[in-house]
């Protein structure tokens, strides 16, 4: 089969369209003819040699797929050949064919294209994990979502609104309106003003219940100041750096704060299956009705994958960057 390969660890110029052995499904697995996949930060890190795939996973890049089942394993009962499915992968999405465990696959809603379906799994599962499984976000609570126009950010805004929460976000000036259009109640230009002051002014000094953060170090103390009593901080990445020079731990104690860090790719298959099924039960009806929608910034042919990677690394996108396969 054809697949996007990495010649050697390095920049986007190392990505080439080449040949790779077609995978074979196990008893509980589906072989899917991939029509679309999507880019994730993990792809650029893996391309650079900084984020190896989990043990046993395909070395091919790509953490999500949308396509048509070519073959179902002997013990598969939920899906059959010809069914359209999408889902999260440990790797292998940048290829003509990929393997997905049947329990990880979700049916593509009839109103969504392959490109739209491919833009859902990683960001909506990550956002669901952060907001619901870790953040325990409740109706009527407030959540602050950093990088509101990112893939996970755009998913988190919509899910938080669907859960009945009040949504605040940080974003750059050109992306503010996109966040508001998705349902954010308050969007803060973090380059213009200290976000903690804006959050506290907007909430009459009450703060927020949950924060979803990708920046880490530079935002840590401001996040602590923004949280109210029994607040929860979920750190999903450290794009701004992983160190904090000074932490006032008495604030953590006085506010009874919970600080959590998490990644999704390193989780067990059993965890990912439960997360997928939990999200699907809540979100698939909302995707079918249009109340939730994948947010796509741009679609590239997989022949232009290097250009797509460069675009992601420039932080220009609002929502997902999708690759059309074939």
What are 260's strand-pairing partners? 234
Residues 302 and 182 grouped into a single domain:
no
For tokens 């110029």, the residue is 13
Please report the DSSP string for 225-242 in residue order.
HHEEEEEEEEE---TT-S
What is the CATH number for 296?
3.90.180.10
Contact between 97 and 126 (Cβ < 8 Å): no
The residues of the chain scoring below 70 in pLDDT are: none
Is the same domain home to 14 and 52? yes
Angle 269-271-277 from CA coordinates, rounded to 5°:
100
Whole-number pLDDT of residue 323: 98
Hey, which bits of the chain come out as E strands?
2-6, 15-19, 29-38, 64-72, 84-88, 97-101, 105-107, 142-145, 166-171, 186-189, 208-213, 227-235, 258-261, 296-301, 320-324
What pLDDT score does 70 carry? Answer: 98
β 97-101/29-38 pair status: antiparallel
The pLDDT of residue 310 is 97
Strand partners, 261: 235
What per-residue confidence (pLDDT) applies to 300? Answer: 98
Q: How many whole angstroms separate alpha carbon 131 and alpha carbon 85?
A: 25
| pLDDT digits 0-9 by tens, 255-283 | 999 999 999 988 999 999 999 999 999 99
Distances (CA, A) of 196 to 159, 168, 222, 285, 302: 23, 11, 5, 36, 41
pLDDT, tens digit, for every residue of 105-124? 999 999 999 999 999 999 99
Do 129 and 232 reside in the same domain of the chain?
Answer: yes
Domain count, the chain: 2
Same domain, 295 and 230: no
Are 139 and 175 contained in the same domain?
Answer: yes
């Amino acid at each position: 089969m054809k697949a996007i390969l990495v010649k050697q660890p390095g920049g986007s110029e190392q990505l080439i369209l080449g040949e790779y052995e077609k995978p074979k499904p196990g008893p509980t697995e589906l072989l899917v003819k991939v029509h679309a996949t999507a880019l994730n930060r993990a792809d650029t890190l893996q391309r650079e040699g900084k984020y190896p795939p989990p043990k046993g996973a395909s070395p091919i890049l790509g953490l999500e797929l949308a396509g048509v089942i070519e073959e179902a394993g002997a013990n598969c009962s939920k899906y059959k050949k010809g069914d359209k499915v999408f889902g999260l992968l440990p790797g292998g999405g940048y290829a003509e064919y990929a393997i997905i465990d049947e329990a990880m696959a979700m049916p593509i809603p009839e109103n969504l294209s392959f490109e739209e379906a491919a833009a859902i799994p990683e960001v909506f599962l990550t956002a669901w994990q952060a907001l619901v499984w870790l953040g325990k976000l409740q109706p009527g609570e407030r959540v602050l979502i950093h990088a509101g126009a990112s893939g996970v950010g755009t998913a988190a805004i919509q899910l938080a609104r669907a859960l009945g929460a009040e949504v605040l976000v940080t974003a750059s000036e050109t992306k503010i309106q996109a966040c508001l259009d998705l349902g954010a109640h308050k969007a803060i230009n973090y380059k213009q003003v200290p976000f903690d002051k804006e959050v506290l002014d907007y909430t009459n000094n009450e703060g927020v219940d949950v924060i979803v953060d990708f920046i880490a170090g530079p935002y840590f103390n401001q996040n602590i100041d923004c949280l109210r009593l029994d607040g929860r901080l979920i750190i999903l990445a450290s794009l701004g750096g992983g160190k904090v020079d000074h932490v006032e731990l008495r604030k953590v104690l006085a506010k009874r704060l919970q600080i959590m860090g998490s990644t999704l790719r390193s989780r067990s298959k059993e965890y990912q299956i439960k997360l997928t099924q939990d999200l699907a039960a809540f979100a698939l009806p909302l995707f079918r009705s249009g109340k939730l929608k994948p947010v796509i910034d741009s679609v590239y042919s997989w022949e232009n994958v290097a250009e797509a990677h460069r675009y992601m690394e420039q932080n220009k996108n609002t929502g997902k960057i999708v690759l059309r396969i074939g």
